[in-house]
A and B are shown apart, each in its own frame.
Chain A
Amino acid sequence: MNIKPAEKNLISKKMDAFFVNLYSAAQFIIRFFKELFKPPYEIKEIIKQCYEVGYKSLFLITLTGFITGLVFTKQSRPSLSEFGATSWLPSLVAIAIIRALAPLVTALICAGKVGSNIAAELGSMKVTEQIDAMEVSAVNPFKFLVVSRVLATTLMIPMLMCYTGFVAMMGAFINVHQNEMTSFITFFQQAFEKISFLDIFSSLIKSIVYGFTIGMVACYKGFHAKNGTEGVGKAANLSVVLSMFLIFIEEILIVQITNSIRP
């Protein structure tokens, strides 16, 4: 295949831009860890952001978590009942929810809701010179805006994941109770029979990684927004797309690592 010089030039320019972006993102992450431990600590802003990320996502998380548990149980029943194995339903659902669904559903919902919100907020602050205004008034905007938000997503998404898991299990229980008349205690005894410490621990690790990814990507895209309001929209959009893409990549990696150490 012959590549024309103009196309070659375009490809090389795109490659250059990709590596420049990668380098800039790496610098952004390094700066986060440097600033994280340096005083002053913006405790008030961190608490405010935890409230924004955690409390304000509860309704959406409750709804999606509950429906996920309910629908997953409903869809799994016919396959199990073919083998007369509906009694395995609680443990099957628990494994699916705790190992995969709760962290993934929480992360994807937060990438959309929280990630786009952060990217749009920081993006509009960037294009209206509010970040520059902070800098010239000798306030570190990175510390105030980025560190607080990334910390909030990293802390709150694991908590939201636990909550999603609980709500999804409740959805599953309602469906199982309706069909098999299983009691609450029996359902949860059967559900947690097959759950190991590693399942819960790996899910926690996953959600911490997802939370960090969502916060970092959203802040990076917002902090580097340009070209006015169009740039703000692009930053929010790219933040969601890139976060979701990275979440799936991380999911594969963490599952591989967890399975390799599973006894």
Chain B
Amino acid sequence: MEMGNENYIQNEPVISIMDLYKSFDDNHVLRGVNLEVHNKENVVVLGRSGTGKSVLIKIICGLLKPDKGSVNVLGKEVELLTDKELQQLRLQIGFSFQSSALYDSMTVRENLDFPLVRHSKHLSKKERITAIERVLDAVGLLQSINQMPSELSGGQRKRIGIARTLILRPKIMLYDEPTSGLDPITCIEINNLINQVKHQFNTTSIIITHDLTCAKTTGDKIAMLFDGKFIKQGTFDEVFSSTDERIQNFYKYNFIH
């Protein structure tokens, strides 16, 4: 597995997004988004449903193409990469899907082995199993190794989804709504796991959410997305001490519901 990004300089932002636009027919989702994420920083993108938060991270990992603007990840311009280069870059990005996106026809072990067997060909079967067990242990679900995804709860599926991305030791983690559809206690467990992943695996993360507890617990920096643009960026306290009515309403209604 190739990990090197020779041109990437340590103190430069790990992810740099400039003047990003994306539309779907007449629906202008992103309208000039700018964002910088630095090494080992957890940035939370907050916003209401349908404001383009998920679209943003799908553009970062090259699943969607922007209409305009640039996305630079680990010193590489995503838009300009060839298929092979994009695959190399993706090995350094872990994407945790909102729906977990576990492969239904495979057991937990096979789900984790699937990327590993293709990208870590130098590992023997025994070494791969050890790596799988280590990652499952890190997310606290070693006992589920032989279970099918359909036998897992929502929280367990999220954890396994995160474990599957961690198996390739990515430098960047992208979390799409990590706490949506979970009970409050499981939400706290997932938030703690996100922080644990940051420290244990030294990752830089973007966390997409509309959950303020998740934002407060996991975010070093908060970026508030509204109408396709970031209207405020800063620490949690800086953002929510703003007098902007849109931010205050978001804060107020988040706790009412």
Interface membership of B99, Cβ < 8 A: yes
CB contact under 8 A between A129 and B114, given known A136-B63, A138-B91: no
Interface membership of A135, Cβ < 8 A: yes
Query: Which residues does chain B contribute within 8 Å of A256, judged by CB atoms?
Result: none
Interface membership of B230, Cβ < 8 A: no
Q: Does A129 lie within 8 Å of B99, measured CB to CB? A: yes
Distance from B113 Cβ to chain A, minimum over Cβ atoms (Å): 12
Interface membership of A139, Cβ < 8 A: yes
Query: Which residues does chain B contribute within 8 Å of A140, judged by CB atoms?
Result: 87
Chain A residue at smallest Cβ distance from B92? A138
Interface membership of A40, Cβ < 8 A: yes
Q: Does B63 lie within 8 Å of A139, measured CB to CB? A: no
Q: Does A139 lie within 8 Å of B103, measured CB to CB? A: no
Q: A133 vs B168: C-alpha distance in the bound complex, in angstroms?
A: 13
Interface membership of B50, Cβ < 8 A: no
Interface membership of B21, Cβ < 8 A: no
Query: Which residues does chain B contribute within 8 Å of A183, judged by CB atoms?
Result: none
Chain A residue at smallest Cβ distance from B167? A137
Interface membership of A251, Cβ < 8 A: no
Q: Does A138 lie within 8 Å of B95, measured CB to CB? A: no
Query: Which residues does chain B contribute within 8 Å of A132, judged by CB atoms?
Result: 58, 63, 95, 97, 101
**A129 is contacted by which of B61, B97, B105, B119 (Cβ under 8 Å)?**
B97
Contact with A along B78-111 (1 / 0, CB 8 A): 0000000001101101010111011111000000
Q: A46 vs B257: C-alpha distance in the bound complex, in angstroms?
A: 50
Q: Does A136 lie within 8 Å of B93, measured CB to CB? A: yes
Query: Which residues does chain B contribute within 8 Å of A128, judged by CB atoms?
Result: 99, 101, 104
Interface membership of B115, Cβ < 8 A: yes
Interface membership of A229, Cβ < 8 A: no
A-B contact count (CB 8 A): 53
**B165 is contacted by which of A124, A130, A137 (Cβ under 8 Å)?**
A137
**B97 is contacted by which of A125, A133, A139 (Cβ under 8 Å)?**
A133
Chain A residue at smallest Cβ distance from B106? A130
Chain A residue at smallest Cβ distance from B103? A130
Interface membership of B126, Cβ < 8 A: no
**B168 is contacted by which of A40, A124, A130, A137 (Cβ under 8 Å)?**
A137
Q: Does A137 lie within 8 Å of B164, measured CB to CB? A: yes
Interface membership of B118, Cβ < 8 A: yes
Q: Does A133 lie within 8 Å of B88, measured CB to CB? A: no
Q: A138 vs B63: C-alpha distance in the bound complex, in angstroms?
A: 11
Distance from A40 Cβ to chain B, minimum over Cβ atoms (Å): 7
Query: Which residues does chain B contribute within 8 Å of A136, judged by CB atoms?
Result: 61, 63, 90, 93, 95
Q: A135 vs B90: C-alpha distance in the bound complex, in angstroms?
A: 8
Query: Which residues does chain B contribute within 8 Å of A134, judged by CB atoms?
Result: 114
Distance from A7 Cβ to chain B, minimum over Cβ atoms (Å): 22
Query: Which residues does chain A contribute within 8 Å of B91, judged by CB atoms?
Result: 138
Q: A137 vs B118: C-alpha distance in the bound complex, in angstroms?
A: 10
Q: A233 vs B58: C-alpha distance in the bound complex, in angstroms?
A: 26
Q: A133, A135, A139: which has the most chain B beta carbons within 10 Å? A: A133
CB contact under 8 A between A137 and B115, given known A130-B103, A130-B104, A132-B63: yes
Chain A residues close to B by CB (< 8 Å) = 40, 121, 124-125, 128-130, 132-140
21 A-B pairs whose Cβ atoms sit less than 8 Å apart in the complex: A40-B118, A121-B105, A124-B104, A128-B104, A129-B98, A130-B101, A130-B102, A132-B95, A132-B97, A132-B101, A133-B95, A133-B101, A136-B61, A136-B90, A137-B114, A138-B88, A138-B90, A138-B91, A138-B118, A139-B118, A140-B87
